[in-house]
């Protein structure tokens, strides 16, 4: 049975289905010292599935706790942006789940996903899973979004205090999906010099949705004028390279 280990970057927490000891942390999404034969299943691991032409459509399953519903406006924006970079139709299915509690560990997120997720990647369809919960990540308060698996991310929208909620929803949905699509430099090295040296796997461009502050309450300090809610040209160039096979993320 695979064990799990937590990997913490400056603003993300993910769990990968990895190794018995979780000694070192790379500062990025991918552990630096995966032992031979252990498969990485964290954010980015399914990027090629979403981006290449092997599947014809993406279904995004959004399971939301009562009171943590994502706005229709934000979901529309997300559908448009994801569809444009994946170059395929995106369908969004929302449902309400029972998810009590106010602090969730990455293990809790996996448990809720196991209990409630109805869609899987199969045949012509790639599945992406979104959990929207009340409360907070237990070990990283102030995080609005977290990518915790190869095809899964979670939102804690009530951690946003003060900014326009629909704007934050739009930004965080696209940001976390960006991590699932391997941004930035998750398993590859971009030919464009654009990774924030201080925040692994994030863009140095404050106008990119992949800027680190997008998923944190520090958004309030760092992003006056509202968060970016779309990929920038460099993000899109990386995604196009992954789609074409010019870049192949490796884990």
- Tell me if 200 contacts Zn ion by CB under 5 A: no
Yes or no: say if 203 and 211 are a contact pair by the CB < 8 Å rule. yes
Is 63 or 176 the residue whose CB approaches Zn ion more closely?
176
Q: Considering the complex, what minimum distance in angstroms separates the CB of residue 218 from Zn ion?
A: 12
DSSP alpha helix (H) spans, 87-216: 106-116, 165-180
Q: 4, 8, 10, 12: which one contacts Zn ion (CB under 5 A)? A: 12
Question: How many residues at the interface with Zn ion, by CB under 5 A?
Answer: 2
Q: Considering the complex, what minimum distance in angstroms separates the CB of residue 201 from Zn ion?
A: 6
- Stretch binding Zn ion (CB under 5 A), from 9-17, 107-115, 156-164, 231-239: 9-17
Is 55 or 74 the residue whose CB approaches Zn ion more closely?
74
Q: In the range 160-189, which residues lie near Zn ion by CB under 5 A? A: none
Angle between helix axes 72-86 and 165-180 (nearest 10 degrees) is 30
Q: In the range 55-114, which residues lie near Zn ion by CB under 5 A? A: none
Q: Considering the complex, what minimum distance in angstroms separates the CB of residue 11 from Zn ion?
A: 5
Yes or no: say if 12 and 29 are a contact pair by the CB < 8 Å rule. yes
Q: Considering the complex, what minimum distance in angstroms separates the CB of residue 237 from Zn ion?
A: 19
C-alpha to C-alpha distance for 21 and 200, rounded to whole angstroms: 22
Is 61 or 215 the residue whose CB approaches Zn ion more closely?
215
Is 61 or 196 the residue whose CB approaches Zn ion more closely?
196
Yes or no: say if 83 and 92 are a contact pair by the CB < 8 Å rule. no
C-alpha to C-alpha distance for 209 and 23, rounded to whole angstroms: 31
Q: In the range 205-224, which residues lie near Zn ion by CB under 5 A? A: 215
C-alpha to C-alpha distance for 111 and 99, rounded to whole angstroms: 11
Is 169 or 215 the residue whose CB approaches Zn ion more closely?
215
Task: Determine whether 184 is exposed, middle or buried from the number of CB atoms within 10 Å of its CB (0-12, 13-18, 19+).
Answer: buried
What residues make contact with Zn ion under the rule CB under 5 A? 12, 215
């Amino acid at each position: 049975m695979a064990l799990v280990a937590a990997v913490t970057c400056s603003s993300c927490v993910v769990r990968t289905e990895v190794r018995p000891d979780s000694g070192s942390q790379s500062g990025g999404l991918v552990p630096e010292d995966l032992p031979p034969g252990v498969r990485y299943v964290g954010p980015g691991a399914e990027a090629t599935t979403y981006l290449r032409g092997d599947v014809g459509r993406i279904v995004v399953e959004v399971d939301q706790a009562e009171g943590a519903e994502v706005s229709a406006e934000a979901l529309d924006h997300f559908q448009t942006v994801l569809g444009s970079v994946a170059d395929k139709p995106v369908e969004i299915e929302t449902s309400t789940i029972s998810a009590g509690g106010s602090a969730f560990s990455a293990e809790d997120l996996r448990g809720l996903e196991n209990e409630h997720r109805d869609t899987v990647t199969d045949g012509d369809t790639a599945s992406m899973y979104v959990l929207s919960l009340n409360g907070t990540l237990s070990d990283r308060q102030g995080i609005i979004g977290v990518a915790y698996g190869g095809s899964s991310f979670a939102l804690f929208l009530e951690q946003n205090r003060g900014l326009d909620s629909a704007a934050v929803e739009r930004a965080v949905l696209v940001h976390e999906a960006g991590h699932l699509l391997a941004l930035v430099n998750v398993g590859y090295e971009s030919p464009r010099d654009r990774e924030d040296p201080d925040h692994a796997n994030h863009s140095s461009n404050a106008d990119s949705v992949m800027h680190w502050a997008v998923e944190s309450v520090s958004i309030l300090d760092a992003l006056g004028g509202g968060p970016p809610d779309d990929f920038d040209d460099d993000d899109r160039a990386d995604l196009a390279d992954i789609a074409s096979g010019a870049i192949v993320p490796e884990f």
